[in-house]
Structure 1
Amino acid sequence: MLRRWLLAAGVACTLALAGLVLSYFLWTRLDSAPVMPCAQDDERRIQAENAMHCAAGLLGDAAQELDLTPAHLFQFPFRYMCVARHGEDAADLRARLGVDWGCAPAWEREVLANDAFLTLLAVTDEGEVVPVRLNRTSFDVAGEIPERVAPGVLLVLRKRPGSDQVLLRVP
């Protein structure tokens, strides 16, 4: 009788441990956000995302606002930056960018159709578009942003009162 109890306890412990290992594996391997189209390994995009997160990290109790320019975020030569709006279609996006961006339909379908994301797009001198997808739980736009923002235009980052969300605006 004792042997059966010990065997049952051993099997239960083994199953529990296997469940924990499987849960850990699935938790660390699965990503709930859709894959970003057309920008899988772009170093400039990753650098701009990191710069945005670092700038947001500087905000806190001591610094209520942070003034910077798009050139601080996109640290490479570019003509202007655009902020893509949720629900914008590929034709409007191409018109605002001023270039025939081949990824516009995929970006519309995968990113702009999802209200969970904010998109910053930098257009280089060569007509290349560098997209930065930011999660809206962390970043959003406050007020009106011009259609095109030059590299030297002042941007203001400010935390939303009572939240960790960072608001981006042009004064």
Structure 2
Amino acid sequence: MMPPTRRTWARRGHTPVVRVRGRSHRRFSIAALACYKHGERSRLIFRPKRHERPKGAGRRSLTWSDYRDLLIPAHQQLGGPIVLVWDNLNVHKDARLRAFIGRRDWITCYYLPPYAPDLNLVEGIWSLLRRSCQANTAFADPDHLLGTLRRGLGQLQYRSDLIDSCLAATGLERTTTHRQGQ
């Protein structure tokens, strides 16, 4: 729960020190989809997950089933096909998730080139989140952090101009011409 520090101050000649409580073995993961549909405002669909296991006791990240469980309601909410543009995270390339996507004609999946975070528009969302609700905040407990993240992402959901700017920063376009194989 180390806060991202944007600004701090100290008297001249003294090194600034930001004190926070001890490290926690708890971890949070967030999956997010930036959604674009012709003629409608951009949307952000997200799902946070809290990992309660102690350090070294199993997986502390999102699984393929977590992504599956995000895609199904996203399809229902959006009411149309989904074109995924994913980075090369190992879970995104999991055989079970690829099989799930392959069985659905409403999902088309594209993978970004390796080591190309500048093309991943969700990285822009994380940057906005770090610079807004997380900046200069020492979280009192995990619930405070999770509440702040939910609130920050909830505010971004209603700022389609910011979501559009994240897409514009990548240089990618909103159109697709053909289905690409997995």
Give the TM-score normalised by structure 2: 0.24
Larger relative contact order, structure 1 or 2 (CA cutoff 8 Å, min sep 6): 2
Give the TM-score normalised by structure 1: 0.25
Larger radius of gyration: 1
